[in-house]
Amino acid sequence: MRFFFLLLSLQFLITNSKAQNDVAARRWADSVFNTLTEEQRIAQLMVVRLSAYDFKTKTPIYYDSLVAEQVKKYNVGGACLFQGNPVKLAEIINNLQGIAKTPILFCIDAEWGLGMRLIDSVQALPKQMMLGAVQDKTIIYRYGKLVAAQCKRLGINVNYAPVVDVNNNPNNPVINDRSFGEDKYKVAAYGIEYMKGLQDAGVMACAKHFPGHGDVAVDSHLDLPVINKSMEQLDSLELYPFREIFKAGVSSVMVAHLSIPAIDSSKNRPTSISKKNVTGLMRNELGYDGLTFTDALEMQGVNKFFPDGEASVQSIIAGNDMLCLPGDVEQSIQKIKTAIVDGKLSWDDINYHCKRVLLAKYQYGSSKFTPVNQENITAEINKGIPEMKRLIAENAITVLNKKDDAFFLLSSSDKIAYVGIGTADTNELGRGLKADYNAAVYYFDYKQNNSRIPALVTQLKSNYSKVIIGIHACNRAPANNFGISSAAVELAKQLQEQTNSTTLVFGNPYSIKNFCNAANLVACYEDDSIVQNVAADLFQGKFLPKGKLPVTVCEQYKFGSGISAGFFLPPTKMIPSTPLTH
């Protein structure tokens, strides 16, 4: 009985604390709202670009002067970081918050950590597809907390993550390895863990891209993808992860630029600016009440059909709260004011969304801005990344086939050759095998043609008892066979057929379709020094492989494939792999 009353008391304290916080949030939001002009209330709904990257000169571009003007003149509500140096970005954030009449909501699109964007100074974490191979979902929660710590250190309030699109199209040019995989249950469960890791640490998560961007063959940055599915099909697959993460309490969602006639049959009307999608489906049918962000309004999936600020108008009519990268802020504001005069919108609509944005700012720390400390910021953002990458590699690397059990336990008596396909330079795996086993090292990049293959295969076949084939430098996108040349595929095929070999694929798992006939086959997912070192540890029995394929790559290897139990037992005693159950 005492325990029961203790639980009741605890529940009362939690409920009372939440109620007090809600009252404080509304009091703050109302007080700030009352200081804003009508134009400033519109501008509070806009998230402008703060930085970019010139890939030709390999230098970041900062728009801090332009954003400072927009903050002073219009009081814009948010700014999105893309690339840049942490020290410089911290300086810019401090300056902008210092001049802002209303605290700015700082956002970043960093699904695999700040290294996804701050490429000059921060290590990237593994992409979501590699996380999808991990079987312990608590690791995903820890990953989310680490990304949140990076965001907090730089003064970022919102991370546009996780992706909860089910990637059920291997040729998807825009989602692909950004997804946890093809299984809706895993996508939902892992999306929730990532979300909780972010939000428990005080960073707003953003589930994307509603209502589901996984089954497209067109990049919405370039054009408007069309998904011809029935509502029953969408409800049973694409919408499932969103429904689950909504129930789990994700604070925001990003709406995609997609044409889905089953939701809205209007010609060339993206879901991002469709009232039937945002208000009808998401708000009314699914009951989601969190903050909404449009996907970037500068993308051609929407800008092609609704240019010059019209997309901003249509976004608010649809029921969105925040407009990502609306382009010309003044033009958008004027277009919205005209829409109010014309009766397409009302000031009540603007005021409603503005107050929702202000409440989100209070909830995620914008109301009490503390200047970002620039000292040691780069080192502190990088803290914990190598350990997390190794943890994920040890849990994700997937043994798909193992005809030769002895192959995976190398010894100094073996005559070993390593063939690095896709690279012309010494890499970590080649160096490690040479140091540990005196392995001979060969390289065959994607510029070479078939003429070298016969002599190389003959040499390897005649002189080495074990050949390790590493597939490297694959492109992330499926176009042009992930950048893997036909000569490289032919070399791997001949080596697999004529030598005692194992093939390790360091890259997008869909690229494994080229190597499915290998007698010994390992999916490694990413191609960096840590993953290569962990792959080398596999040959020394330093860890038991636990990973399972998050997607189907060929007839032999479907979702859930992977050998773990009984890995070092003789083949007759192996425990067959089974797909993930729900």
At residue 577, the pLDDT reads: 38
Token reading at 93? 């954030």
Question: Residue 286's closest CA among 238, 244, 315?
Answer: 244
Which helix (H) or strand (E) covers residue 505, if one does?
strand 501-505
3-state secondary structure of 202: coil
Distance CA 468, CA 108 (A): 40
The residues pairing with 292 across neighbouring beta strands, listed in sequence order, are 253
* CA torsion, ordered 262, 128, 82, 79, to nearest 10 deg: 60
Indicate the residue type of 579: P
Helix (H) or strand (E) holding 252: strand 252-255
State residue 579's pLDDT score: 37
Choose among 309, 307, 320: nearest CA to 350: 320
In this prediction, residue 555 carries a pLDDT of 95
Catalogue all structural domains in the chain, each as residue range(s) with its CATH number.
Answer: 43-382 (3.20.20.300), 397-573 (3.40.50.1700)
- CA-nearest of 202, 185, 318, 285 to 251 is 202
- Could you tell me the CA-to-CA distances from 311 to 247, 264, 269, 306, 332 in Å, in that order? 29, 16, 10, 5, 8
| Measured distance CA(266)–CA(280) in Å, rounded | 14
State residue 18's pLDDT score: 64
pLDDT of residue 413: 87
Low-confidence ranges of the chain (pLDDT < 50): 8, 10, 12-14, 569-582
HSE-up (13 A, CA, CB side) for residue 480: 7
For 413-469, how does the pLDDT look when each residue is reduced to its tens digit (9 = 90+)?
899 999 999 998 889 999 999 999 999 999 999 999 999 999 999 999 999 999 999
**φ, ψ dihedrals at 207, nearest 5°:** -75, 135
Write down the pLDDT at residue 1.
57
How long, in residues, is the chain? 582
